[in-house]
Chains A and B, each alone.
Chain A
Amino acid sequence: MQKNIKIKVALAGNPNSGKSTIFNSLTGSNQHVGNYPGITVEKKEGSKSYKGYDINFVDLPGMYSLSAFSDDEAVARDFLIKEKPDIVIDTIDTTNLERNLYLFTQLTELSVPIIMVLNMVDILRSQGKVINKKAMSDLLGVPVITTVASRKIGIDDILDSIVSLFENKKLKNQIRAKVDFGDVIKEQTDKLEDLISKNPTLSIFPERWLAIEFLDNGLSILELISETNNESEILTQLKKSKEHIKEHFGEKADKEIVDRRYGFAKSIVKTVVKKTGQDKVDITGIIDSFVLNKYLGIPIFILVMYVIFKFTTFADPMANLFGLLFKWIGGVVVSLLPICPVRSLIVDGIIGGVGGVLGFFPMMLFMFFAIAFFEDSGYMARAAFVMDKVMSRFGLHGKSFLPLMLSTNGCAVTGILSTRTLDSKRDRLITMFIAPFMICGAKLTVFTLIIDTFFHAKYKTDIMVVMYFLSIAIALGIAKLLSSTVLKGDAAYFVIELPPYHIPTIKGLLLKMWERGTLYVRKAGTTIVFASILIWVIFAYPKAPINENLSKNEQVALQAQYSFAGRAGKILEPFFKPIGMDGNRAVALIAGFAAKEVIVSTLGTIYAIEDGSGENLPLKEKIANDKDWSALKGITFLIFCLIYIPCVVSVIVFFKETGSSYKWLALLVIGSTASAWIVSFIVFQIGTLLKY
């Protein structure tokens, strides 16, 4: 069989133009997420075989223009210029045609073949407007396709048009209408083009585009200039040109250029869009008048948060099912293998450890699903708007709120990775720093265990809510502290677009949920298996000498003291005594560095070994029966858990995302542990004084 010809297609477009939805329906589940080399921006790729071609799609980050403002946009621009895709698909939100055409005017200057996709035509129709596809295609000289991505209308047309554009070489470079910048600017760009074409490093770029981009204040483009040969010549010419344009128009050059581009876009909109019917009800406007209301905004926000948390409780039956599944696997292994260290390792170590971890995986998925729903429907941008006032008081950005949300009941790793949407480095750093202090899914297991043990069923939820608020207060407190000491200054200006509301597609939600969930599964698959084995080893070895005179219980107790863990606990006890913890809990907490859920499984192992009474009580009751625990000690334990060193995976991710900064790593690791000790010391001592 002959090999298929490959076509490289890039999807470009404004944020919220439905680009991801189109990408999802073009590629199906055949996707793969990676990173662009060197930078922390996600690279989404997918492929599709169609009519004997292998079409390779790259979903570029959303951008407003090619003169990159954030990292995301710089990546998109560099991809378009350096990788030279065969075809660029420009996704356009038809309801906001003028602004979306602005990017198109820039793309035309790159001289790549473009397919224009007009998305969300159904919403335009409901506004009583009609767009003339044929006129637009004739006017601009590019294929124009109308789609409704959420209902998969027009997806095949895109594929057809990719193939026909690729086959007909003649159709390429056929862009007819380009923005006319006028004689004055043209004169200056010609001079610049001349200089650029002489330069070997710069001439790989389309000259005309680069000349205009230089005038148009493309800030990161100016960085390219430093590595060129005739740089000083270009710079002086650029300065001259800018001055000349300013003199002529009385405005800065970039304003004039943007003006021309928008003028071009406006004239196209005027010719192709016709108003035929009456404007139907503007649903987005109606919902927004409640959601963004001065008085109703915050109550609605709280309601939405409540709905998200309520939704995660539906995962409980599934979590129980997972538990049963692992119990069954353990049983199978026990029946298959003879008694030996390997069996103990597999059953107690791996299955016990990983099973405990995956026990709350369903809850995490439900959480991510709920968040993805509100994100895709357009509410999360509004939530950022509502929260901006509160967040800016603590030196944070409105957008910082989503990473914190993902960390709560979810996973801090996902939270830290999602800070990539923040533009300013300072905001990102603070948000990454505080994300591990939220109660993540793993910590939740510890909290549920302790609270279940020591408090009456009536107060359980109240105490849990108090704990959530405590974690938020701690995180915000740290943010305030950081922003008033180490990272002085204000959060970046808050400018975000509020997309129109729409009903998300199930497929898109599931993909998003899975993408975020797998970040966690990978962690469970590697670190936690390793940690479980390690913990099993330190509790099972070295073996105590077998003494025939001792009963089975005493033998087990002896083993607990004899093991590495028991010995380490003895040594560490003095450090943990002032905060009301014994050696066992110290060991559990140290094991918790591997992953917070390991705290529970370690406690389980300790009590299973220590008790050895044969009766199989749940861990909860074993702890309740232990005289060395009390409600106060439980609370101190939880507070320590909340603040001390985050799990190893989040620490590693944090380290990588800060650009391998040892300073920040040290601050996170040492600062959090020290303050955890101090806070729990205060709580425990005051509690003891008050005789609780």
Chain B
Amino acid sequence: MGFFRRMVKHTYERWHKRWVKAHFQKFKSFDNCLKYNGMTKLSNAVPGSYKFVVAHCGEKLRHRLLEMGFLPGDELIVIENIGHGGSIVVKIKDARIALGNKIADNILLLRRK
């Protein structure tokens, strides 16, 4: 029985690997994958208009960002991005908010057509 289970697991892992490779090989990196899907990290965003998607961070900060108006789907304008580990200024709900690079790395945006 143990042998059978191991066989199934092995086969599944093999197929899973192939599936991942087939689907993601065109993206050389995570950033590229985002780009292909019309998304970007806030830390890489060039100034312009975006839609806020999600922030991956601790519960406390997530809640704070929510209250400051970072609602999924809302418009967000990137005003200035210093780049290379610098901070980013965005405009959301008529307020200008500066975000450090570390948090900006965990925020995903959707580019507006």
Contact = CB atoms under 8 A, between A and B. Distances in A.
Contacts of B83: 294
B70 to A, nearest CB: 10
B7 interface: no
Contact of B82 (A98, A285, A389): A389
Nearest to B66: A258
Interface stretch (A313-321, A407-415, A490-498, A628-636): A490-498
B68 A219 contact: no
Nearest to B63: A217
A288 interface: yes
Contact of A96 (B60, B64, B94): B94
B87 interface: yes
B48 interface: no
A262 B63 contact: no
Interface in B48-77: 57, 59-61, 63-69, 71-72
A518 B83 CA distance: 41
Contacts of B22: none
A293 interface: yes
B81 to A, nearest CB: 8
A129 to B, nearest CB: 11
A401 interface: no
Interface string A282-296: 001100110011100
Contact residues on A (Cβ < 8 Å of other chain), bracket: 35 or more
A498 B98 contact: yes
B80 A293 contact: yes
A217 B85 CA distance: 31
Given A64-B68, A258-B66, A294-B83, A495 B89 contact: no
B94 to A, nearest CB: 4
A495 B80 contact: no
A288 B94 CA distance: 15
B78 to A, nearest CB: 12
Interface in B30-63: 57, 59-61, 63
Contact of A494 (B72, B87, B93): B87
A154 interface: no
A392 B71 contact: no
B20 interface: no
B1 interface: no
A10 B88 CA distance: 35
Contact of A259 (B57, B71, B79): B71
A389 B87 contact: yes
Interface in A472-526: 490, 493-500
Given A96-B95, A293-B80, A494-B98, A288 B89 contact: yes
B87 A385 contact: yes
A188 interface: no
B68 A288 contact: no
Contacts of A65: 67
B107 to A, nearest CB: 11
A495 B100 contact: yes
Interface string B93-110: 111111111110000000
Given A259-B71, A493-B57, A493-B100, A498 B89 contact: yes
Given A96-B93, A217-B63, A494 B79 contact: no
20 contacts: A96-B95, A98-B69, A98-B93, A102-B69, A255-B66, A289-B80, A292-B82, A385-B98, A398-B87, A490-B102, A493-B102, A493-B103, A494-B98, A494-B103, A495-B61, A495-B98, A497-B68, A497-B96, A497-B98, A498-B98
Interface of A: 64-65, 67, 69, 95-99, 102, 217, 219, 254-255, 258-259, 262, 284-285, 288-289, 292-294, 297, 381-382, 384-385, 388-389, 392, 398, 490, 493-500
Given A294-B83, A493-B102, A498-B97, 19 more contacts: A96-B95, A98-B69, A99-B68, A255-B66, A258-B67, A294-B82, A382-B98, A384-B98, A385-B89, A388-B98, A389-B87, A392-B85, A493-B61, A493-B100, A494-B103, A495-B65, A495-B68, A495-B98, A496-B98
